[in-house]
Structure 1
Amino acid sequence: MLIRTVETFAVAPRWLFVRIETDDGIVGWGEGSLEGNSGIVRTAIAQFAEYLVGKDPSRIEDHWQVLTKGGFYRGGAVLASAVSGIDQALWDIAGKALGVPVHRLLGGAVRDRIRAYGWVGGDDPNEVRDHIAEQMAVGLTAVKMNASGRMTRNGSVSEIDAVVQRVAAARDVLGTDRDVAVDFHGRFTLASARRVAPLLEPFHPFFLEEPVVPENSHLIGDFVRSTTIPVATGERLYSRQEFLPVLQAGVAIAQPDLSHAGGISEVKRIAALAEVFDVQLAPHCPLGPIALAACLQVGFSTPNYLIQEQSIGIHYNKGAEVLDYVVDTEPLAFVDGHFELLTAPGLGIEVDEAAVRAADLLGNAWRTPVWRHSDGSFAEW
């Protein structure tokens, strides 16, 4: 069995799918979505395809080593995302060739279901209440919300009060049996994040996410020590080496993205490293169905897996929804706020190839918003 073709599809709303076909007709799907940069990753995958075509798809680890280390210049979001999509597709092929779900190849299931959470927005407490009610209506028992919109560099009194009011409103709706995570989204300085965290402690957030931008990971230990709330980070870290300092700094939850952090192969290693530090895994995944299925395959085989983000109904999904690209939506259906064990071969879902090819004709033009402060200077989004 040899790799015959490697194709990519840029589809709405902001995703990049990878299709690898073998000479005996087995098709594997992966997702190398790097939001806002589909075209750049697509070019990287095309270059990697020059190496892959004609190779044995079952040599997943060897291909991972070559693609990540074979170039003198290594790493970064673009190359890591390209490798991630390819890696997922190769695992999909491996499972289909052997007739088993990928989690069986990763050591077998350690759980029967994985808890899911959804994103909620809203710029005022009443909107937060409405959006949380919508998520509860579909059975979810956990949500995540942005702490704020654009934040001034030192955080004004009104901005900080608004953060507290919104989290208080969320807790009021959720009660004590459901959870709310709060995403700082790298919009805060360390000083303003440390100012806000103690004010949120009475509402017992599930975790506080990305209190500092990833290039300031050397500061995250100061934030961890300033609060009793579990701290999460990792959606913009792409390897074990990049995760090691934040694990050493005391974060409680690691959030690698399987479409950015080297795919299934590397995220399994990140999970094992995290376990050494008593850290739970909660992969970042505001992406498509392939990335979600890949996350779940890792989750079903990983002991220190906490919860799974998913983007069904998220505000970014304009022009297409997660389930629009699968033939059967049942494997990704919520059951009491959880995903049930995936049992079909490979990644466990059937991609609607016709829908993907049609969507690729339109492409996607999503770009990261550019925000500015009132003085005209750049603001973190």
Structure 2
Amino acid sequence: MTAERPFFLLHIRKTAGVSLRGLLANRFSADRILYQAHSLSGPQQPGGALFVTGHVGFDYAGTFPTHPTIFTVLREPMSRCISAYDFFQSHSEPFFRTLATELSADEYAARRRFQERARALGPARFLAEEEALARYWLANVQTRQLAGSPLSGLRDDDPRLLGAALNNLARIDLTGILERQADTLKLLGRMMGWGPLGPLPHLNRTPRSSQPELDPGSLRILRSWNELDLRLYEEACRLFEQRLAALPSGEDAAELATPIGADGFTPDQPLHGVGWHEREHHEGRWLCWNSAPSATLNLRAATMPRQFQCLLSHVFNEHTLNTLEIKLNERPLVLRKRAAEGGILVESDIPEGAWADSLPRAILTFQCPVMGSPHDLDTTSPDVRQLGFAIARLQLD
């Protein structure tokens, strides 16, 4: 895959698309990303973006100036359907305010009605009394999305949808299987030459429903509404197993590293490593929070640096800063920490023997045992992410 070939994550609802976006988007320059290509409040055409994702149909791939690498994930249809049914009943008012900026007026009203009626009626009555509404959001969703918008006028159980979806399935570079998460990431890492990927953070988790479990009659109805999805999923699993069996034996390629120049590394550059949240643009600069107690960052220098500097724009608390440890190529750094313009500057001499070859490759490991969420500090905050520190700049001299 060439570095300039765009990457299109076709995001089907409740197939871990938000988690995948968080894992993959950091691999691309921050100024060449288009999130939520379906949103009416932002740009919808890919233009020069290198990473694009959204709840759009397969035909959206045809809008790229250069044909993209296409990746999607399918989920066992009944599991996806039940997750969506619960998810659509769980929305808070802040979430609805966000939806109002993304969806058309009709779709927004439909999501409102879905929540209200499903909560009020329970599954059996809701599926019977609001069949058209329920089918729109729950019936053969994966097949309809892969069939694409040209066939959106067909009934959700029209067999022509399956034919189109199967044809497009064969044209997708990689269709992952949610239930085969580790193997999906292995195939994707190999295909893209990224080396090992994962673990996958679990974002946008569907809250546990307060409603009783679906009764057998409701499950039978939902299954009958997803016959095309069940057949599509079966074929996707067959192709997945075929792809996995053809995977060459041997170890994954070495993880990619971001070249670091005289100006150092800033999080708007591609970030190769694991354990990071999606980057944020805050007060005119990019920063990136760690998402796990152990996070890695892979860099490549042009010379043999002897000094390490890292500017942390934020830390969760003083204990976080005091317990933070950093290794470079498995060599512990003796850290000096002080207040500086824009945050806290962490410095260290680079120990002898840290560089193993003539092309210095720095695998930095950040050990951050103390983390917390903004919600811990302010219970009115909806941000429940686990955070430790945020990198704003890193320098190797």
Q: TM-score, normalised by structure 2?
A: 0.25
Flag the structure with higher strand content. Answer: 2
Q: TM-score, length-normalised on structure 1? A: 0.26
Structure ID, larger Rg: 2
| Highest RCO, 1 vs 2 (Cα 8 Å, sep ≥ 6) | 1
Task: Indicate the structure with greater helix content.
Answer: 1
